[in-house]
Chains A and B, each alone.
Chain A
Amino acid sequence: MTHSPATPPPRALRLLERLLPAEVRDALTGDLIETFARTADARGPRAARLRFWAEALGAAWQCGTWRTALAKPSGLHLGFGLTDDLRYAVRVLRRAPAFAALCIVTLALAIGPTTAIVSVVDAVLVRPLPYNDPSRIAFVWEKDETGRPVTMGYSTIEDIRANATMLASVAAVGSWQTILSDPANPARLTGSRVSWNYFRTLGVAPALGRDFTPDDDRPGHTRVVVLTHGFWAARYGSNRRVIGSTMTLDGNPYTVVGVLPSSFDDMIQHDAEVFSPLGYVVTQPWSCRTCRHLTAVARVRDTVPFARARAQLNQLSAQLVRAHPTDYPAAGMFLTPMQQDATRASRPALLAILGAAILVLLIALANVANLQLARGMRRDDEFAVRIALGARPGRLTQQLLAEGLVIAAAGGALGLALGGAVLPVLVARLPRTIPRLDAVRLDRPVLACVAFIVIAVAIVTGLVPARLARRRAIDGAALRGGARLTGKAGAATRSMLVVGEVALALLLAASAGLLARSLTNLLAVDPGFDPANVITMRIASSGPAYRTDAATLEYRRRAISAARDVPGVLDAATSTSLPLSGDLDRYGITAEDKPLANPALAPYATGYRVNGDFVRTMRIHVLAGRDLTAQDARDSAAPVVLVSDALARSIWGGESPLGKLIHVPNARAQWARVAGVVGDVRHASLDIDDGRAIYLSEPAWSWANDEAALVVRTRANSPALVRAVHSAVAAVDPSQPVTELRTMDAVVSRSTAQRQLALVLFASFAVLAMALAAAGIYGVLAGSVAERTREIGLRGALGATPGDLLMLVVRHGLRLAGVGVVIGLAGALATTRFLRALLFGVGPTDPWMLGGAAAGLFVIAAVACAVPAWRAVRVDPVTALRE
């Protein structure tokens, strides 16, 4: 056959062009064309075409597996070209560094705090306690006359142990402050006295040495201690030979028998250092049912629901009340899961802070979506061209998702780093009353949470612009050169996002306002004493030299006069209880002339056992009668007592209590005469109005406490004076520890620490939220001014004044803010009640606070309008129209 030079089959060529990956397309096709020519020469065009087709189909067949063969073996194989998309996304973002940085930093600023707070919430509220099967462990409380849970006497706990068959075990725990005598380094230790089965009830075994045995828990056999891991490490440098050694506590030798594991965390004394057996039996006077100073810890049997165990305890309580009617104020008991109970006080604050962090996260999310949208509008042409060239809309979506993912991942990583840096600061500022703070760390649940946030952010910030890009593509308007379609749909979405941001920012601002108001209200509360210019410290006396009460009282007197002798000191006194310091020392008080059928219903009052002139030093008001005098202290046979106004009212109503006799448990004499009435002092906390108290001279008490708070009033507190007072008191007996040196102002301020922290966090979140919202408003307005340049120019040419043009933009901005504020107010009315536990003296829907926050947001919105408005005014009509 003679032919014109044969050509390869065109359809086979097209097949190759379309299917082969770029890397080999040219080489392979070229090879085939070359071979075709040779084959045609040697065996004719027909054979050559046949061979070409066979090769082309063979190559096409291989196509499905090309990609895996071509990719680096260690590369990422996400399929569907996602790797390529991610690579492309990084390239695209590198070309828009300002945009990328803004998005990433915005996300990091929101993810960082969220990470830190999630870490705390996870450790404190979520993670199970470090005990064996912790969900079965519970506290048992008695019910007081107001229906609140209270601690118990030992005899009651023994009855529960004997009769509550649904509890696998019951342990009693009493608080224990003890002085470690050490000539070089005396220390005041915190710990608990516990029944021998306490650690067994929790399911914790010592890491070193042994647990307590029933033998240790008998009266007179209790001189053994188990140390916590932290104390062992700090005091003994983790020396294993400490087991079997002796330490002197309160002047008595104790044998160290065990060290607890490092994971152990006590829910009753968070800062516990030592544990010793309780050694109680029911026949001891301090084991009585009304001696309510013990916490009961129980393990509920595995198969028993809490409700049934609770029912059994209530039944038992009813029997006890029938058998001992004068020992119980009310029938009923509480059985509360330990974790829930131990975190009850901190739960509202932590959850509120977590909620605030999530709001900031949402605002940041809206802002990033907004930025993406604004940028998406400018990329109209890119998308339109790509779609015209045959990119499927799904492909564009995937690429925008990849861009979202790159931004979110970078923001997440930066946020994580930020969170890691913030976390120690946050934990250090959290009040020590929150349990489990030692367990706070950035670990797997937190990382999982951040990963979830990153993916959510990627989806939202990728899909919103993608949806719009797609709609636009279908219309193909961008290519026709018409008005930007995204224009309309995009602007609407952006406005919605800004409205949402404003609403959330308002919620945060209102909450921060409510918390700030609560704190100022709280600090404005008259604590009943004057904390300014008062120094306090804790002095203790233990060891052989202080075996007698007289020696202890003498030490107190010398400490007081040492403090008084420091120049600049006006007065000094000691008291066994110090207001707002967390002390709790309360007694049921009965009056001789107002006998009660059930003595258990006697009103409880805080007992201040004082040396020196405590009332005058603290500047507590004397309302009637007189203050205690030095003569009262010497005359312990006919003791006198001061009562607070609240106590006087609850016992005698309007009658004058002066000269009346009251019974104070544990006082030396059966009756004490009321010599004066003083003003109420906030003892437990500034927000609890429970000022019932008695003041009596310490020698009138049956024993002298081995420690007391020394309060020193100065002319003006200065660091130098604080140091001088401290060293003067410490010099009285260098072998005795002088601890907790603070100003009374610091004591008051620390009692509000949790509120202060919540306020600081809320306020910073609110500031961040408002800044983001302002940025959102600014972005939308700037975009709209840029797009409406022609319109604005036209209006200017037709005679609109600069004022008109200004209003055009500002109105737009304020309309967005207005809608946001309305939605935000509705949201605030619905949600601020979750803050109720943190509020004081202000309602959750306080109109002033909500109105103030709304006004604040309007001001910020107006400021955000300023620059775009100024730009609109500066539009030159001629240039704008010529464009």
Chain B
Amino acid sequence: MLGDLEQVVLLAVLQAGDNAYGVPVQAEIRRRARRTLTLGTIYKTLARLEAKGFVASRLGESTAERGGRAKRYYTLTPAGRQAVRGSLAALRRMSAGLDVGLQAP
């Protein structure tokens, strides 16, 4: 079972698609989850996810606007996708038939 932070970060990486490095991931989380996470928190979570084998990373290009520093892109591994799927399915099953205002009006 994924932790709350892990779940949010994994989904944000998926949402960011091919462009999943720190800045877009942070933006996706702010936009969709309406949460402000520091980059430190995000990278730490990604490091943990990488250690668990749920995401993989590669170094990208270094650009002038980044002061010459390379980006680090993240993608979900098959195990990561499996974990997200499992986690969401569990939420759905847990909430099925409950009236907590999730159903469409």
A interface residues (Cβ-Cβ under 8 A, vs B):
8, 23-24, 26-35, 37, 54-55, 58-63, 65-66, 69-73
Assess whether B40 is interfacial by the CB under 8 Å rule: yes
Are A27 and B44 interface neighbours, CB within 8 A? no
Are B41 and A58 interface neighbours, CB within 8 A? yes
Are B44 and A62 interface neighbours, CB within 8 A? yes
Closest A-B pairs by Cβ, 7 of them: A30-B69, A59-B40, A58-B38, A31-B22, A27-B72, A30-B66, A62-B40
Are B23 and A34 interface neighbours, CB within 8 A? yes
Q: Which residue of A lies closest to B52 (CB)?
A: A73
Least Cβ–Cβ distance between B61 and chain A, in angstroms: 10
Given A26-B70, A30-B70, A66–B44 Cβ distance below 8 Å?
A: yes
Q: Provide the residues of chain B in CB contact with A24, threshold 8 Å.
A: 43, 47, 72
Given A27-B72, A62-B44, A69-B44, A34–B65 Cβ distance below 8 Å?
A: yes
- From the candidates A35, A55, A60, A70, name the one contacting B47 in the complex (CB within 8 A): A70
Q: Which residue of B lies closest to A72 (CB)?
A: B51
12 A–B contacts, CB within 8 A, in A order: A24-B43, A30-B69, A31-B21, A31-B22, A33-B67, A33-B69, A55-B40, A61-B40, A62-B40, A62-B41, A66-B44, A66-B47
The dominant DSSP class at the A interface is: helix
Known: A26-B62, A26-B72, A30-B66; 13 extra A-B contacts, CB below 8 A, are A24-B43, A26-B70, A27-B72, A31-B21, A31-B23, A31-B71, A35-B26, A37-B65, A54-B38, A55-B40, A58-B40, A59-B40, A61-B40
Q: Provide the residues of chain B in CB contact with A8, threshold 8 Å.
A: 67
Assess whether B79 is interfacial by the CB under 8 Å rule: no
Give residues of chain B (13-55) contacting chain A, Cβ–Cβ below 8 Å: 21-23, 26, 38-41, 43-44, 47-48, 51-52
CA distance A70 to B43 in the complex (A): 10
Q: Which residue of B lies closest to A58 (CB)?
A: B38
Q: Which residue of B lies closest to A31 (CB)?
A: B22
Q: Provide the residues of chain B in CB contact with A54, threshold 8 Å.
A: 38
Q: Provide the residues of chain B in CB contact with A59, threshold 8 Å.
A: 38-40, 43
CA distance A55 to B40 in the complex (A): 7
Q: Which of B21, B47, B70 has the most CB of A within 10 A?
A: B47
- From the candidates B39, B52, B70, name the one contacting A55 in the complex (CB within 8 A): B39
Are B72 and A69 interface neighbours, CB within 8 A? no
Are A27 and B71 interface neighbours, CB within 8 A? yes
B interface residues (Cβ-Cβ under 8 A, vs A):
21-23, 26, 38-41, 43-44, 47-48, 51-52, 59, 62, 65-67, 69-72
Least Cβ–Cβ distance between B81 and chain A, in angstroms: 20
CA distance A65 to B26 in the complex (A): 20
CA distance A58 to B26 in the complex (A): 14
Q: Provide the residues of chain B in CB contact with A35, threshold 8 Å.
A: 23, 26, 39
Are A33 and B40 interface neighbours, CB within 8 A? no
Q: Provide the residues of chain A in CB contact with B21, threshold 8 Å.
A: 27, 31
Least Cβ–Cβ distance between B62 and chain A, in angstroms: 7
Are A28 and B39 interface neighbours, CB within 8 A? yes
Q: Provide the residues of chain B in CB contact with A73, threshold 8 Å.
A: 51-52
Are A69 and B65 interface neighbours, CB within 8 A? no
Q: Which of A30, A35, A59 has the most CB of B within 10 A?
A: A30
Q: Which of B40, B51, B67 has the most CB of A within 10 A?
A: B40
Are A71 and B51 interface neighbours, CB within 8 A? yes
Q: Provide the residues of chain B in CB contact with A32, threshold 8 Å.
A: 39
Are B67 and A30 interface neighbours, CB within 8 A? yes
CA distance A71 to B66 in the complex (A): 27
Q: Which residue of A lies closest to B68 (CB)?
A: A30
CA distance A55 to B59 in the complex (A): 22
Q: Provide the residues of chain A in CB contact with B52, threshold 8 Å.
A: 73
Are A69 and B48 interface neighbours, CB within 8 A? yes
CA distance A718 to B105 in the complex (A): 111
Least Cβ–Cβ distance between B80 and chain A, in angstroms: 15
Are B47 and A33 interface neighbours, CB within 8 A? no
Are B47 and A30 interface neighbours, CB within 8 A? no
CA distance A8 to B65 in the complex (A): 12
Q: Provide the residues of chain B in CB contact with A69, threshold 8 Å.
A: 44, 47-48, 51
Q: Provide the residues of chain B in CB contact with A34, threshold 8 Å.
A: 23, 65-66
Q: Provide the residues of chain B in CB contact with A62, threshold 8 Å.
A: 38, 40-41, 43-44
Least Cβ–Cβ distance between A714 and chain B, in angstroms: 80
Q: Which of A31, A58, A62 has the most CB of B within 10 A?
A: A31
Q: Provide the residues of chain A in CB contact with B59, threshold 8 Å.
A: 26-27
Q: Provide the residues of chain B in CB contact with A55, threshold 8 Å.
A: 38-40
Q: Provide the residues of chain A in CB contact with B48, threshold 8 Å.
A: 69
Q: Which residue of B lies closest to A59 (CB)?
A: B40
Least Cβ–Cβ distance between A545 and chain B, in angstroms: 83
Q: Provide the residues of chain B in CB contact with A70, threshold 8 Å.
A: 47, 51
Q: Which of B51, B59, B62 has the most CB of A within 10 A?
A: B51
Are A65 and B38 interface neighbours, CB within 8 A? no
CA distance A73 to B66 in the complex (A): 32
Q: Provide the residues of chain B in CB contact with A63, threshold 8 Å.
A: 40
Q: Provide the residues of chain A in CB contact with B72, threshold 8 Å.
A: 24, 26-27
CA distance A211 to B23 in the complex (A): 83
CA distance A55 to B37 in the complex (A): 9
CA distance A30 to B72 in the complex (A): 9
- From the candidates A30, A58, A61, A65, name the one contacting B71 in the complex (CB within 8 A): A30
CA distance A394 to B4 in the complex (A): 41
Are B47 and A31 interface neighbours, CB within 8 A? no
Q: Which residue of B lies closest to A38 (CB)?
A: B23
Are B51 and A33 interface neighbours, CB within 8 A? no
Least Cβ–Cβ distance between A750 and chain B, in angstroms: 65
Are A28 and B67 interface neighbours, CB within 8 A? no
Given A58-B41, A59-B39, A27–B47 Cβ distance below 8 Å?
A: no
CA distance A28 to B44 in the complex (A): 10
Q: Provide the residues of chain B in CB contact with A61, threshold 8 Å.
A: 40
Q: Provide the residues of chain B in CB contact with A31, threshold 8 Å.
A: 21-23, 26, 39, 66, 71
Q: Which residue of A lies closest to B37 (CB)?
A: A58
Q: Provide the residues of chain B in CB contact with A33, threshold 8 Å.
A: 65-67, 69
Q: Provide the residues of chain A in CB contact with B44, threshold 8 Å.
A: 62, 65-66, 69
Given A71-B51, A72-B51, A30–B62 Cβ distance below 8 Å?
A: yes
CA distance A143 to B59 in the complex (A): 89
CA distance A72 to B65 in the complex (A): 33
CA distance A27 to B25 in the complex (A): 13
Are A28 and B22 interface neighbours, CB within 8 A? yes
CA distance A683 to B43 in the complex (A): 86
CA distance A27 to B22 in the complex (A): 8
Given A34-B65, A73-B52, A28–B47 Cβ distance below 8 Å?
A: no
Q: Which residue of B lies closest to A24 (CB)?
A: B43
Q: Provide the residues of chain A in CB contact with B67, threshold 8 Å.
A: 8, 29-30, 33
CA distance A29 to B26 in the complex (A): 14
CA distance A23 to B58 in the complex (A): 11
Are A27 and B51 interface neighbours, CB within 8 A? no
CA distance A65 to B45 in the complex (A): 11
Q: Which residue of B lies closest to A65 (CB)?
A: B44
Q: Which of A23, A32, A63, A71 has the most CB of B within 10 A?
A: A32
Given A69-B47, A70-B51, A27–B69 Cβ distance below 8 Å?
A: yes
Q: Which residue of B lies closest to A16 (CB)?
A: B40
Q: Provide the residues of chain A in CB contact with B65, threshold 8 Å.
A: 33-34, 37
Q: Provide the residues of chain A in CB contact with B26, threshold 8 Å.
A: 31, 35
Q: Which residue of B lies closest to A26 (CB)?
A: B69
Q: Which residue of B lies closest to A21 (CB)?
A: B47
CA distance A33 to B66 in the complex (A): 5
CA distance A73 to B43 in the complex (A): 17
Are B70 and A27 interface neighbours, CB within 8 A? yes
CA distance A28 to B43 in the complex (A): 8
Least Cβ–Cβ distance between A220 and chain B, in angstroms: 80
CA distance A343 to B100 in the complex (A): 82
CA distance A65 to B43 in the complex (A): 12
Q: Which residue of A lies closest to B24 (CB)?
A: A31
Are A23 and B51 interface neighbours, CB within 8 A? no
Least Cβ–Cβ distance between B56 and chain A, in angstroms: 13
Q: Which residue of B lies closest to A60 (CB)?
A: B40
Least Cβ–Cβ distance between B90 and chain A, in angstroms: 22
CA distance A595 to B66 in the complex (A): 118
Least Cβ–Cβ distance between A78 and chain B, in angstroms: 17
